[in-house]
Amino acid sequence: MDARLVVLPVIREQAEQGVLRLSGEFDLGGCDVFTSAAEALLTAGKRWLVLDCADLSFCDSSGINALLRVWQRTQTVGGGLAVAAVGEPVQRAFDVTGLDQVLPMTAEVDEAFDLIASAPADEEPA
């Protein structure tokens, strides 16, 4: 497997929702790719983003900081960010850094959108 981060937008019919499927290793080398892909969705009117991390094998502090910057950016447009399908090694990194206390995390992408949809438009889901 190629270790570099690959970010693929996923088509969703819901107007204000976007999905980014992350695969590979999320380190300093992938931050610009991730941030650019997230910004493209936000610019296209997607306020609520879900990251599908099923194929993400690694995330270091650079990746976590990029996640937090994008989460803050979604807040500025009245939306939010949720993370879905995180594998064990990446989940440990999120637990240790406290990211799991900041971002909503679910087992599946649709579950994340259900969580986001249940929150008022001006409030981040718990």
118, pLDDT greater than 70: no
- Nearest residue to 115 (alpha-carbon basis) of 15, 105, 11, 52: 105
Q: Is residue 50 part of a domain?
A: yes
- pLDDT recorded at residue 1: 45
| Cα–Cα distance for residue pair 67/116, rounded to 1 Å | 17
Structure tokens of 102? 């900041």
Q: Is residue 126 part of a domain?
A: no
| Cα–Cα distance for residue pair 4/63, rounded to 1 Å | 12
Q: What is the pLDDT of residues 9-57, one digit of tens each?
A: 887 778 899 999 999 999 999 999 999 999 999 999 999 999 999 999 9
Structure tokens of 45? 């009117």
Q: Is residue 111 part of a domain?
A: yes
Burial per residue of 64-89, b for 16 or more beta-carbon CB atoms within 10 angstroms, e otherwise: bebbeebbebbeeeebbbbbbbbeee
Number of domains composing the chain: 1
Q: Is residue 122 part of a domain?
A: no
Q: Is residue 125 part of a domain?
A: no
Q: Is residue 39 part of a domain?
A: yes
CATH number, domain at 102? 3.30.750.24
Q: What is the pLDDT of residues 63-98, one digit of tens each?
A: 999 999 999 999 999 999 999 999 999 999 999 999
For 15, the 3-state DSSP assignment is coil
For 29, the 3-state DSSP assignment is helix
Q: Is residue 70 part of a domain?
A: yes
Q: Which domain holds residue 100?
A: 6-117
| Cα–Cα distance for residue pair 54/13, rounded to 1 Å | 21
Amino acid making up residue 54: A
Amino acid making up residue 46: K
